[in-house]
Amino acid sequence: MSTSCDAVSCSIKPAVHLHIGHAPSNAARSGVCVVDVHLPFGKPVNIERISFKNFYTASLSVRLLTKEPTSLCKWLTAIRDVSLMENPHCEDGAQDYCSLIREQMLVEPDHVVQIRLILRQPSATWTTFDLEEINIYTHTHQDSEEVSDWLSELTLVDQDPDHVQELPDSQSVSCSIQQMLALTEVMKNNQNSSSIGRYQVTHTHTHTHTHTRARVFNNVCMFQVNGCYDVNLLSL
């Protein structure tokens, strides 16, 4: 399976802080704010990664609005209270760059039309908190099954079966090689006598007592050494 990810254009709404009480001007902040991210209309995406720069947010939850072709829209919790700062009252991690990848999410982040980021900061030390430089990256993949189906549709070059020859048996090849080696040794030892195929030239050794001759019967060359046949040549 091959995967790739690309940044998707999206509309990020300003953070909305939740208040305790009826009148926002007089109410105290609850330490919770919401950031909505709207993806392109009518184009649900499969999310691979969400990246951002933290700005004094202690923890984060992510909700996804999904719309599958055969069902209604529904909200799903993908990330629940992931910590962005080791201690809400300390500076550590307050302005770090972070990424939430697909494998960290509680559900498959597919067919997403909207993302809701829920930010929490329980400490009163910081007057404001938010997320900056938010980017959404889509997840695209090509299943191995689809690739195999595509390969199965390819048409091989037609071959004439009459021209396709099977490889010979390894034992037959070995025997043929042994016979050729035996014939080669005989030809080396009897350089004065040359008889190949159906053509015969007979010589007699002058420096040894061994008389080598070749006779042709029915166009088949028969080799004799001192009136006896060489065992290695009987199968030729």
Is the residue at 220 inside a domain? yes
Average pLDDT over residues 165-194: 74
Predicted pLDDT at 186? 78
Average pLDDT, the chain: 77
Same domain, 13 and 121: yes
Q: For the chain, what is the largest distance between any 2 Cα atoms, rounded to a whole number of angstroms?
A: 132
Is the residue at 151 inside a domain? no
Average pLDDT over residues 201-220: 46
- Which among 45, 108, 112 has a CA at the least distance from the CA of 78? 108
Average pLDDT over residues 54-67: 96
Cα separation, 222 vs 214, whole angstroms: 6
Cα separation, 219 vs 64, whole angstroms: 91
Predicted pLDDT at 30? 78
Number of structural domains (the chain) is 2
Same domain, 6 and 116: yes
Predicted pLDDT at 204? 46
**Residue bearing the bigger pLDDT, 148 or 214:** 148
Is the residue at 84 inside a domain? yes
Cα separation, 142 vs 150, whole angstroms: 11
Pairing of strands 199-201, 194-196: antiparallel
**Residue bearing the bigger pLDDT, 228 or 131:** 131
- The 8-class DSSP code of residue 233 comes to G
Q: Tell me the residue type at 12.
A: I
CB 134 within 8 A of CB 83: no
Is the residue at 170 inside a domain? no
Residue 198 has pLDDT above 50, yes or no: no
CATH number of residue 56's parent domain:
2.60.120
Question: What is the signed CA dihedral for 73, 75, 79, 81, rounded to 10 degrees?
Answer: 160
**Residue bearing the bigger pLDDT, 189 or 80:** 80
Predicted pLDDT at 176? 81
Q: What is the DSSP code string of 100-168? A: EEGGGSSS---SEEEEEEEEE---TT-S--EEEEEEEEEEEEE-HHHHHHHHHTPPPPP--GGG--PPP
| Domain housing 201 | 191-236
Is the residue at 184 inside a domain? no
Average pLDDT over residues 206-221: 46
